[in-house]
Structure 1
Amino acid sequence: MDKTALLLVDLQNDFIHPDGAYARGEAKSEDIAALPARLTPLAEAFRANGGWIVSTHFTLVPGRGGEPMISDHLRRLRPFLAKGDFAPGSWGQGLLEGLGPSDIEVEKVAFSAFYMSRLEWVLRKVGIEHLVVGGIVTNGGVASTVRDAHVRDFHVTVLADGCAAFDAEVHKTNIEALRSVADISSCEQVLAGLASRS
């Protein structure tokens, strides 16, 4: 298990918590809200079995006056994003309570957690070879990160019920598309595998 990490993609307060930025902007999803309850037992099992917990944290880098630097496509999609949202070190940028603490936290500024980040460097440094991936959104941060992990020769397992999108059909389509670059499993299956090791 010391070569395996549970990679939690963007399971942050500003995305999911009822007091977070997305909730304030009415960008909510029942499927996304259900993820923490599914992934928390898995995170606990990983810790108990010596696996790593790695979390990625979407970040809006503050510019002059603290105004966030927001990509044009994101500004069009989420016009409610404002100063302080997803700010480095803020509560909103942090991992949801219950899932943490993570062993490694990595800030990200785009869909893929590998893009212009230190993720690959830290994974190689601690000897991670296998990533078990859960998080949001399936068609954005998850799919981009999984594909980038694949081309970097990481073995990847995607948790079909440990990921979600704002649309169930979009989620399903993207899970199917990832079968060419990753194993597809469930939280229950991975938990059962960990239990058999004990």
Structure 2
Amino acid sequence: MAGGSVDLARTALLIVDLQNDFVHPDGAYGRAGQTAEMIAALPGRLRPLAEALRGRGGFVVSTQFTLVPGRGGEPMISPHLKELRPFLAKGDFEPGSWGHRLVDTLQPADFVVEKVAYSAFFQSRMEFVLKKAGIDTLFVCGIVTNGGVASTVRDAHVRDFRTFVLSDGCGAFSQATHDNAIRDLSTVTKAITVADALAMVTGA
């Protein structure tokens, strides 16, 4: 296998929800003051890995959390999310909008998959895209560690994808929450660092 222990032609960096509305200061969360240094640092930390994997024949796949516009353009928001994030409003995470897109630092993605819940596999085309592209190994990163990342990793596991969760390539709104989530995922995946993954990709 190329890159030591992974076949790069069958490997993807799966970026969970690193979108402008989550990460950029002018996005929906930034405007509401819902930010965390751990999350803000992720795009820059992940960029070398994305570039290395893409340059060696691997893939970059971006999941895009989506608020589907309903009648009058008002977003369809699940009750639990509305209670948790009451600031979400019309235009936030809207398909095709600036806020909905993957942050510029990590562009371009080879595949973009919209998601409407925590897991990128729930009622989406994720499994179809990965299997059609011949991808069977995933380096999973993004936000939030205990939400979208954890749910996506667990769903990938039950679908027999080989997964690695990037312990310093994920973020949550508190260090304790992040650490607990990484520990809890140890039953279904192997936690490695971004540097570990980069070494696997480059053979260094």
Normalising by the residue count of structure 1, what TM-score does the alignment of the two structures yield? 0.98
Question: Which residue in the other structure is 1:120 paired with?
Answer: 127
Q: What is the Cα deviation at residue 195 of structure 1? A: 2.0
For 1:141, which of 133, 141, 148 is the aligned residue? 148
Question: Aligned to 1:2, what secondary structure does the other structure show?
Answer: helix
Alignment match, 1:17: 24
- Alignment RMSD, CA only? 0.8
Counterpart position of 2:51: 44
1:56-113 CA-partner distances (Å, limit 9, x unpaired): 0000000011000000011011111110000001000000002011000000000000
Is the aligned partner of 1:132 residue 2:132? no
Q: CA deviation at 1:27?
A: 0.7
Could you tell me how far apart the structure 2 residues matched to 1:194 and 1:129 are? 15
- Gap regions ≥5 residues in structure 2: 1-7
- Determine the C-alpha separation between the residues in 2 that align with 1:47 and 1:131: 13
User: 2:50 is matched by which residue type in structure 1?
Assistant: A
Write the distance in 2 (CA, Å) between the matches of 1:194 and 1:30: 27
Alignment correspondent of 2:104: 97
- Displacement, 1:156? 0.3
Amino acid at match of 2:145: T
The superposition leaves residues 125-175 of structure 1 with CA deviations (integer Å, 9 ceiling, x where unpaired) of: 111110100100000000000000000000000000000100110100010
Percent identity between matched residues is: 62
Q: Secondary structure at the match of 2:104?
A: coil
Q: Which amino acid aligns with 2:75?
A: P
Q: Give the Cα separation in 2 of the matches to 1:17 and 1:70.
A: 21
- Matching residue of 2:160: 153
Note the residue ranges of structure 1 that are not aligned, 5 or more in a row: none
Matched residue type, 1:23 = G
